[in-house]
Amino acid sequence: MVDVSYESLLDICVSAAMTSIRNMNYDQIGELLNNDAEKKIDDIIDNISQVRTLPTEREMGLVQNKSLAEWNLSQEPKIEEAKRRLRTTYEEAVKVKDEVMELKEKLNSLSEERSLDTSTALLQAAAQSVDDESEAIANRYLSGEIEVDQFLKEFIEKKTLAHMRKIKADKLSVILRQQQYPQQPSSNFRTSPYLTKGAGLYPQPVSSPSFRQSFWAKVKKIDPWQLYEPMIKNTKIYPEYPTLNLQLDSMDFVPLEKFHSYAHKKARQFEFKVIDSYAIPPTKVILMPEKPDKGKQEKEIVLSTYHRFLRLSEVPCVRLSLYLHLIQAHAPIGIAITIKKQEQADEDIRYIPDEILEARKTELLSLDDPKTRKLLGWE
């Protein structure tokens, strides 16, 4: 490409020089040949526009090359850092791959050594052991050795683990029975009650396609990870309430704030989903003395009621009553507890009106009067 461009530029310059020479008269050509012919020819070549721009283009090319070289040098640290990160990531990937292959080999060896019968028996024994531990925790609570919080936490964990292991053991037993006693295909052997022509002395079976299949083709393939811990869907055992609002009201700010944190923490311990925890402005009531003394200026008494809210969801019905009994038992004196379903009014009370915006709204409504619109020239 460079040679072709150079040749084309050379042709253009020669054509321009020949054009200027053709426009000369006889005397100018004679001067060109007689006196300083080389200088005249150099002047003609220097006056060509393509030749005049060559120094400028050369300087621009040098500047561009220098700028590009400086930019390339500035990118060198970034490239080195990227190469270093790539090398580190590759080494980590190789290490993780080796660990995965090692774990896979270990899993395969364990799968070969341990049968389904042994796994089922071990899982049933583990489930019974955890169930016994949960009963022991209940007995400790009844005897007064542990508190309610510790009892709820440990008992729920143990019972959940015991139920999960029982379900998995039952699932393994079903899979084991299916493998030991596969379902036989239904027979389509049918006979005709009457002798037919060419049938002989005995009825002939009606021809039907064979439904026999290989035993291993019917056995469902089991993932090695599901062999000892089958994947069980986490279904909801008990019905759950929709979104609930727990409202705490009190005239004493400090106990209310502490109890609000306590109720929030207990809700999480009961595994409720806490959607929101917020406060709204206090409700104020102004009181005046019933019989003010004459000559005395009585002061107004302002009583403030503070409000705190907890918005809960995914609340199992069997746990809600326990939760309410617990927080009512620990509620300080003067705190009112209210719980109800979430409504639109509960969201509207969180809005705090802006006095400036309300004033502008009133002003705009006053401008909507027909007389005012006519005076302003709007109609």
- Segments of the chain with pLDDT less than 70: 1-6, 31-38, 40, 111-114, 181-236, 289-298, 367, 372-373, 376-379
Residue 202: inside a domain: no
Residue 365: inside a domain: no
Query: First vs last Cα of the chain: how many Å apart?
Result: 75
> What is the structure's pLDDT at 210?
46
Instruction: Supply the range of the domain harboring residue 257.
Output: 240-288+299-342
Count other C-beta atoms under 10 Å from residue 14's C-beta.
12
Residues 179-191: tens digit of each pLDDT: 776 655 554 444 4
Same domain, 244 and 150: no
> pTM higher than 0.75, yes or no?
no
Written as one string, the DSSP assignment of 21-70 is HHT--HHHHHHHHHS-HHHHHHHHHHTSHHHHTHHHHHHHHHHHHHHHHH
> What is the structure's pLDDT at 191?
46
Q: Are 232 and 164 spatial neighbours (Cβ–Cβ below 8 Å)? A: yes
Residues 277-336: tens digit of each pLDDT: 989 888 888 877 666 565 566 677 888 899 999 999 988 888 888 999 999 999 999 999
Spatial distance between the Cα atoms of 158 and 73, rounded to a whole number of angstroms: 64
Residue 200: inside a domain: no
Which DSSP category does 209 fall into? -
Spatial distance between the Cα atoms of 328 and 341, rounded to a whole number of angstroms: 19
Residue 231: inside a domain: no
Spatial distance between the Cα atoms of 218 and 109, rounded to a whole number of angstroms: 25
Domain endpoint, select from 137, 156, 179: 179
Same domain, 324 and 244: yes
Q: For the domain that residue 272 is a member of, what is the CATH number?
A: 3.30.70.600
Residues 124-155: tens digit of each pLDDT: 888 888 888 988 888 888 888 888 888 888 88
Residue 168: inside a domain: yes
Residue 335: inside a domain: yes
Residue 379: inside a domain: no
Query: If 0-12 CB within 10 Å is exposed, 13-18 middle and 19+ buried, where does residue 70 land?
Result: exposed
> What is the structure's pLDDT at 323?
92
- How far from the centroid of its chain's Cα atoms is residue 206's Cα? 61
Count other C-beta atoms under 10 Å from residue 246's C-beta.
24
Total domains in the chain come to 2
